[in-house]
A and B are shown apart, each in its own frame.
Chain A
């Protein structure tokens, strides 16, 4: 593989994926997707969550093998990646959003694991250290090669991964949402590195939800939607709204908003503080009102919700429902006061994936489902089928495990679990992440209906169109503090983004994060 040109588009692609299809059980993650990566070019890969980006990355990284389709190397030969090592040998490097380093090994060893420089058969620790230092100098960072990886920031971990890619002279570098957890300064440094990789002739695939980043460093874009490629062309001449429209498959129309009566404040958060995470957060949510908590990833939104529900501790402040102050760090107390919490991570936190649909729906209501002190399968089944019906969950059998459901229906099961408790307060964290568009609007309808029945709803969402569609009032957090409160009439994507980033004007409207 001798080409060393910095030539941009026009030549043969360094790596080409042709017509790849991959299914997991019943779910088609990718259907006939092709991708061409050219040397000296940064190629943006965009799409909504669940569009198939992660699967594509894992195929390029040798973690998954496509059911059909093939990878072709620069020389035109087929490339079969049966495991991650094959990908590395083929000169492909993947930088994950949260890299998996060995916390107990030194930084140098993490860069060279399995390929440590040797003298004879012995590892040459000195050479390894020197080579690592050279790589870090190239990357412009002063990391100590001899420190252990435990305690590195995510940005530093990514640098180590990039150094690893440089160390075996990767021709293809795939970055899976590398900026999601980075500060502005770190993002700038990363862009410098990407630019230098590009100018050295590597092909870079760059995945991001922040379209302003895509426009800042990419030359070509591929858009995925529902596992298919819907666009692949040079970025020149495209606008952010073109991309958004292609990603979503339609123009984003503002939903008509039904005005609701708002009652008394039900959920009251006063001066909630957790050192280093969030500070002095105060807000109310009234009965029948939907309040959205917006902001960038890492602004502390989920953390506030988790603390309010009692999953996490907080240092000071007060959470109350009605007149009742909630005991801290006790989800049980919050539940007894009528709070329901649909967490961010559906598969880990929302559902017990291997339990049946019935068991999952009933899990938060078990005490109410007792007859003569004991659980009854019939009562539980009736309860579950009633609520699954109300939320129109599409399932095979109620006795099947939650793993048998699609993402959207899984989310409906989580909602059923909590709505069946008839809560006074409903907190939902990223309610539509990674689910299809049809189910998305159903979830929005469910939230609106709950509010109409007088539930106080708090929605955390990274998708601004969603925030604008459902919320009566929008709270914007930035770096652990409440930055702004916008009523529906004055909220636009621009005003929210301005508050979330602390800037006057922001270009791209889509801010998002991905499931791990």
Chain B
């Protein structure tokens, strides 16, 4: 029994995997325009440089993490440990910095740490054959726990100015653009090219839609999956540094719960939780729909971050429910048909007796 079958839905039946490609992205672009139109209509501040910069800082890190997550979900796996990897990396950096390590050495350690975290996930999934869901729930807890231990209740916040500015200054020349979003844009282009224009990218779709057929076409499925987890670990660790610079501090429960936001953006972006469907463009648009909605709600009403958590969860559920709509309709028709058939049979039995 394949471990992959774990996230098959309760009826054991997978919803139609091919959503009409393109229409989802088109809907997202429409949603993006709507969100920004509503935002600017309800508050004059929405389009201000300051607000857009805040919006960017809020979404940049999460959007970057969504890129490797997109590839992992594309091959039918999941990584729930991203936020914990981020936290472990940030707190390790804090610890090393407070012990006088130079930033360059810390960078090397953090990259290695991310690679190890990702490799542990990847090896357990590919070599031992465990479901990524279970593995990464475990490492979500494990990495976060280690992060707690590294710094304890301390907070380290005296990072050198040039690094902190990476977090609080805008990208040179563009006042509303945060460094994180600038990095995201560059990475999104790279990820987009890899996913959509290279044999490797095509292999990811093939793995997600038909793992066995991919193996038979010479695609090295296990190796690719392993490297995707390592990639995710490294990217999350680097985001950990960036995020700590943005906060100007590294401390307890940093970035807790980010996995929800990351997964929400990926699925909202049109990537199927069963793998094999989706685009980087969709995920990128989804990130800004999400950020725009967050910002608009915060500005226009008494919403705060905690309230947005509810919206965020709702978005996640919607983005997996909506692709199932045709399935519901088919199922409703089927139930109706069966009901009629049963009534017919009862009638027949009555006539017979």
Which residues of A are at the interface with B, using a C-beta cutoff of 8 A? Answer: 65, 75-80, 82-83, 103, 311, 331-332, 334-335, 341, 343, 345, 348-355, 359, 362-364, 366-367, 370, 373-376, 401, 417
Contacts and interface: CB of A to CB of B under 8 A. Distances in A.
B342 A80 contact: yes
Contact of A353 (B1, B199, B210, B352): B210
B218 A331 contact: yes
Contact of B217 (A364, A370, A373): A364
B119 interface: no
B10 interface: no
Contacts of B18: 354, 401
Nearest to B202: A366
A374 B198 contact: yes
Nearest to A336: B218
Contact of B352 (A75, A82, A83, A352): A75
A343 B216 contact: yes
Contacts of B215: 311, 331, 349
Interface residues of B, number: 32
Given A77-B349, A83-B338, A311-B216, A354 B199 contact: no
Interface in B218-254: 218, 220
B206 A363 contact: yes
Contacts of A335: 218
Contacts of A103: 1
A349 B338 contact: no
A103 B1 CA distance: 10
B37 interface: no
B217 A348 contact: no
Nearest to B351: A77
B320 interface: no
Given A76-B352, A80-B348, A359-B206, 13 more contacts: A65-B341, A75-B352, A77-B349, A77-B352, A80-B341, A80-B345, A311-B216, A331-B215, A332-B220, A341-B216, A343-B216, A348-B212, A355-B210
Contacts of B337: 65
A377 B145 CA distance: 47
B17 interface: yes
B348 A78 contact: yes
B199 A370 contact: yes
B349 A348 contact: no
A366 B206 CA distance: 12
Contacts of A343: 216
A362 B340 CA distance: 47
A351 B216 CA distance: 9
A355 B1 CA distance: 24
Given A331-B216, A351-B210, A364-B218, A359 B341 contact: no
Contact of B212 (A349, A354, A370): A349
A331 B217 CA distance: 8
A375 B205 CA distance: 14
Nearest to B199: A366
A422 to B, nearest CB: 15
Given A77-B348, A80-B345, A354-B17, A348 B199 contact: no
Contact of A350 (B203, B205, B213, B342): B213
A281 to B, nearest CB: 21
Contacts of B349: 77
Nearest to B276: A354
B351 to A, nearest CB: 8
A348 B210 contact: yes
